[in-house]
Amino acid sequence: MGKLLNNGFRTSKQERKLVSIREGQRKRYCEEDHHQDLALKSVHADHSYDVTSKRFVPDISNIVHEEVLDNDGNNLTPTDDWRVGRRVVELGVIADHLQQCKHCGLPLSLHNTINIKTYGLGSVLKVLCTNKSCGNINAIPTGKQHDHKIWDVNTKLALAAIDLGLGEHQINGLLSILNIPTVSHCMIDSRIREVGDVIESVADQSMEEWTEREKEMTRESDGNDNVTVSVDAAWQRRGSGRSYDSLTGHCSMIGSKTGKVINYKWRSKACRICQRAEISGNIPRVHKCNKNFTGSAKAMEPDMVVDRQMAVRSAAVCPEVIGALR
User: H-type helices in the chain, by residue range?
Assistant: 12-42, 91-97, 152-164, 168-177, 185-222, 272-280, 300-314
- Average pLDDT, stretch 75-88? 78
| Residue 52 pLDDT level (bands cut at 50, 70, 90) | very low
pLDDT digits (tens, 9 = 90+) for 87-133: 999 999 999 999 999 888 889 988 889 889 999 999 999 998 888 88
- Average pLDDT, stretch 234-256? 80
User: Cα separation of 254 and 229, whole Å?
Assistant: 5
Q: Which of 59-68, 97-106, 194-203, 286-295 has the lowest mean pLDDT?
A: 59-68
Examine the pLDDT at 257 and tell me if it is beyond 70.
yes
Cβ of 321: how many Cβ atoms within 10 Å?
A: 10
Listing from the earlier edge strand, what are the strands of the sheet with 122-128? 113-119, 122-128, 137-141
What's the Cα-to-Cα distance from 37 to each of 30, 34, 49, 52, 60, rounded to whole Å? 11, 5, 16, 9, 22
CA angle 236, 239, 240 (to 5 degrees): 155
Tell me, what's the pLDDT at 50? 47
> Between these two residues, 61 and 1, which has the higher pLDDT value?
61
Tell me, what's the pLDDT at 148? 80
User: Cα separation of 245 and 237, whole Å?
Assistant: 7
Examine the pLDDT at 51 and tell me if it is beyond 50.
no
User: Cα separation of 199 and 266, whole Å?
Assistant: 14
Examine the pLDDT at 49 and tell me if it is beyond 60.
no
Cβ–Cβ < 8 Å for 225, 219:
yes
Tell me, what's the pLDDT at 309? 80
pLDDT digits (tens, 9 = 90+) for 261-316: 888 888 888 888 888 888 898 888 888 888 888 888 888 888 888 888 887 776 65
Indicate the pTM of the whole model: 0.67
The phi-psi region of residue 104 (left if phi > 0; otherwise alpha if psi is between -120 and 50; otherwise beta) is alpha
- Average pLDDT, stretch 148-159? 93
Mean pLDDT of the chain: 81
Tell me, what's the pLDDT at 43? 52
**Nearest alpha carbon to residue 273 among 288, 255, 253, 294:** 288
User: Cα separation of 273 and 290, whole Å?
Assistant: 9
DSSP tag of 48: G
Residue 244, SS3? coil
Examine the pLDDT at 4 and tell me if it is beyond 60.
no
